[in-house]
Amino acid sequence: SVINYRKMSSNFILSDNEIRIICITIGALSFVINTLCIYLIIYFRRIFASNIFVVTFLLQAFNLAQNLLFNVLFTLFIHAKYGGGYCIGFVCDSHILPFWAFYSCYILLSCSIAGLFVLLIFFRHQTLLSPTSMLKLSRLSTITFSAFLMLGVTIIPVHYTSMNVQWTRMIANRSFVRCVLHAIGSNMATTLGFSENLQPK
């Protein structure tokens, strides 16, 4: 049975076009659902507190952006162990940006969604507390906590982006040095060749 399962799994291989069609279908359905949710959030904004409305709207908008990014535009295949991968989306065919730039956008959106979800729970918890509660934070403390939280979740994508930028610059510098050395070597070879031709036999 194990051998048959391995044979079936080896034969069941999807091509890039089939994977792209599946991801686009999922992305289209998610786009409709996310758009409907955003419309309902705006339509029923009066029943929300101002801070909860803003966080809920941003959470749904970031979810919509992540869905379009992952399923439609880039269709990322991520190897988390190696910090890389490849993509087969529409934007990847144009080679506008390297893979790490797409991956950085995906990490940024994912971390922002996680941070906004924590903020949503935090704001809801604050609204349920009585004004005399010791856990009730002031407006300044709430804004400070929110700012530090959202800045904290961006550490991972910023660190990943900075590492890849440094790596790209290092590769570019090495390529430039190789080109310079190659040009110098070619000039020296040409000069030596001319000097040998000018020497009397």
Q: What is the pLDDT of residues 126-145, one digit of tens each?
A: 888 888 888 888 888 888 99
**Torsional class of 83: left (φ above 0), alpha (ψ -120 to 50), beta (otherwise):** left
- The residue count for the chain: 201
Q: How far is the C-alpha of 72 from the C-alpha of 65, rounded, in Å? A: 10
Sorted by sequence, the CB contacts under 8 Å of residue 28 that are 6+ apart come out as 72
Between CA 49 and CA 127 the distance in angstroms is: 9
pTM over cut 0.75: no
Instruction: Say how many CA atoms lie within 13 Å of 83 toward its Cβ.
Output: 11
Q: What is the mean pLDDT of the chain?
A: 76
Phi, psi of 86 (to 5 degrees): -150, 170
The three-point CA angle 75-76-78 to 5° equals 160
* Tens digit of each residue's pLDDT (9 = 90 or more) over 151-189: 888 888 887 777 777 766 666 555 545 554 555 555 544
Distance CA 96, CA 23 (A): 21
